Structure 1
């Protein structure tokens, strides 16, 4: 039987294109989840919280710090994108972050990430840019954009 780490890694392997080198490996995810302020959500194919059994359609990893939450990663299986799963995960992440006392949520992404439209539609706004922050396997550099949203 798969555990939640297996489910996260299954989605990670499907959702993140290796050309961008954004996926975390199992050890990175496991080490992150061992920290007391890192949280995860799993979604089923309709965006609902995943039941005990079955494969995850998507996941989100967040980290809480006093007054704020950071979205570390979010992924949805490619064949299920556009069905509201990412929106559902973000909405649940907002609710849970508020429950932990967060007043703002932040995320950072590469400049050309198509998920920017999802983030903007969910109330995130760009608040900063780091020039040439991400180095791709090809050797190319891309800016990082930081987004923030009040909760």
Structure 2
């Protein structure tokens, strides 16, 4: 599979099962980062929230991005790619879509938060994000270990 075989499209409530399959596959429970289906479903009807789903050529879910815009700013709330599809351009396609959609929705500044040490930091940096803050001990892992959250940002024009 190559990145040009990945289809990224708007998604909604009907796609939550696919989103949860990707979430369970991609987020290690040791770090406490994954969301529940009710948490995702609770956000979808809110103003400014959108969900996109990446699929392969036969329609199998590969990844998703959940985002929102508020007052000229956009936040990437969640981005996940199935382990079997990682490092194959799916994350890049989801980031490109987030940046494009955010700009079309009037956002001038983009934000996201990520666990310090998460391999996705490289993806975010490649897309122009840089660290603007740190939340100490934000994530609580399954073993009780705590992890910092990094706040990253960039302009939509970057």
Aligned residues: 144
Q: Secondary structure at the match of 1:57?
A: strand
Taking the aligned partners of 2:91 and 2:105, their CA distance within structure 1 comes to 21
The corresponding residue for 1:61 is: 66
CA contact (8 A) 1:71 1:106 kept: yes
CA contact (8 A) 2:33 2:139 kept: no
The corresponding residue for 2:86 is: 81
Deviations 1:95-141 (A, max 9, x none): 11101100111001111111111110111000111112222221111
Partner residue of 1:108 out of 110, 113, 133: 113
The yes-or-no answer on 1:134 pairing with 2:145 is no
Partner residue of 1:6 out of 4, 17, 24: 17
Q: Secondary structure at the match of 2:128?
A: coil
Partner residue of 2:104 out of 99, 105, 110: 99
1:40 CA displacement = 0.6
Unaligned runs of 5+ in 1: 47-52
Q: Secondary structure at the match of 2:101?
A: helix
Q: Which structure is richer in relative contact order (CA contacts within 8 A, separation 6 or more)?
A: 2
Deviations 1:60-103 (A, max 9, x none): 00011011100000001101111100000110111111011001
Instruction: Calculate the aligned-residue CA RMSD, in Å.
Output: 1.5
Taking the aligned partners of 1:121 and 1:45, their CA distance within structure 2 comes to 23
Taking the aligned partners of 2:127 and 2:104, their CA distance within structure 1 comes to 18
The corresponding residue for 2:125 is: 120
CA contact (8 A) 1:45 1:85 kept: no
Structure 1 runs of 4+ off > 4 angstroms? none
Unaligned runs of 5+ in 2: 1-12
CA contact (8 A) 1:131 1:142 kept: yes
Q: Secondary structure at the match of 2:18?
A: helix
